[in-house]
Amino acid sequence: MPYADSAPVNATVTGWEHGTDLVIDTRVDTDPQRIWSYVADPQRCARWFAPWRRADEDTVELELDDEVLVAHILACEPDSHVLFDTARLGRLGLTLTPVADPQPGGPAETRIALAHTFPSVHDAADAIAQVGPVWETHLRMLCDALGQPRADISEGELYARYARLAADGLPEDEAETGPDEGWQQEAFL
């Protein structure tokens, strides 16, 4: 079955030794190379996120409304992933993972994951209800740009989902998991 219009958008919150990740993902019926063109080309990127320009080898400048957001590239592998750090938003990433066994005779499938890393579980709890809907909206806009829109959802429903995830999905204290132990909470949205 094709994923367009039916693929869920999932949200996962995972704690690890260096912070807490909010990962929002979905699958699309195309290969990573096609999706990457919507990341690597500034004008295509503007269709779902923001136009950007290269400041130097390790830095891009994202044009967000009337503001320029400087993003330092931490890792980048074409057709696979990009990870960058910003002073205002923190660490952000996008990963493209080919689905190992697409349906026989069907199109290539790729998992798209957007990640936002927070320094602590408390920082995540304070921010997920606000940033989760924004990142999911951008992921949905990328799917639209690829010609594979997700099912409609109201802004109110989006904010309610992430408020529940922030309230129910995070340990109250990082001591509950220990400094080197991870934990995970999923919400199928």
* Residue 180 forms part of a structural domain: yes
Indicate the number of domains in the chain: 1
Higher pLDDT, 36 or 105: 36
Tokens of 157: 């429903």
DSSP string, 144-174: HHTT-PPPP--HHHHHHHHHHHHHHSS-S-G
The pTM of this model reads 0.85
Range of the domain at 89: 10-188
Which DSSP symbol is given to 4? T
pLDDT tens-place string over residues 46-80: 999 999 999 999 999 999 888 999 999 999 999 99
User: What dihedral do alpha carbons 15, 17, 21, 27 form, nearest 10°?
Assistant: -90
Domain contains 3 = no
In sequence order, which residues have a C-beta less than 8 Å from that of residue 172 and are 6 or more positions away?
A: none
Task: Please classify residue 88 by burial: count the beta carbons closer than 10 Å to its beta carbon, then call 0-12 exposed, 13-18 middle and 19+ buried.
Answer: exposed
Evaluate whether residue 2 is within a structural domain. no
- Supply the CATH number for residue 106's domain: 3.30.530.20
pLDDT value for 169: 63
DSSP string, 115-136: EEEESSHHHHHHHHHHHHHHHH
Domain annotation covers residue 1: no
Residue 4 covered by a domain: no
